[in-house]
Amino acid sequence: MSWLKRLKNQNVQATYATKPTKPCGSPMRDGFVGFVAHMPGGLERNEIIENAANDVPASPCVASVEIPISHADRWCWPNSPAMNTAEIDTFYRRIDRFWGRPDAERLADRLVIRDREVDDRVMCVECRYLSGKSCQNWKRAEVTPQIPWEMQTTLQRCPGFSGV
């Protein structure tokens, strides 16, 4: 009787495992040793437990909001790290603004994270007064007229900042 027939046969008296199968080649290479035995209680369908011990209970502080199935952003921020439609639009506008910079995408991504964290700091590259490497509002910003590349991409609080 083949192993499959023995496994399917529920009328067999012996429920102990058979002798192990021998690997075809090297035990280190093939490595599989199989046994055939019957389940003692059968394979009936078990009842489903509603709340398992490792389920995370719903927080009473968070109000559940029903999101329509057709809503495109239901799996996006703040429900996951994926960018929602508004963030994607802002991301591409920033890349257009930073066009020509080798790190334009990285900067736009950093600003998405900054917006999510509700950080009030800004970068010089976002300011309307930045022209190349010079700040047109440098007195109010309390900086030198020539802004180095590193400072242009540093998050900071600037009194002379004015967004685009």
Domain ranges across the chain: 1-41, 85-152
Q: What is the mean pLDDT of residues 7-16?
A: 62
Helix 104-116 × helix 85-97 angle, to 10°: 140
Q: What is the mean pLDDT of residues 14-24?
A: 63
Q: Is 131 helix (H, G, I), strand (E, B) or coil?
A: strand
Q: Is 92 helix (H, G, I), strand (E, B) or coil?
A: helix
The string of pLDDT tens digits covering residues 61-111 is: 555 556 554 577 788 888 888 898 899 999 999 999 888 888 899 999 999
> Would you say the C-alpha torsion 150, 156, 158, 164 has a positive or negative sign?
positive
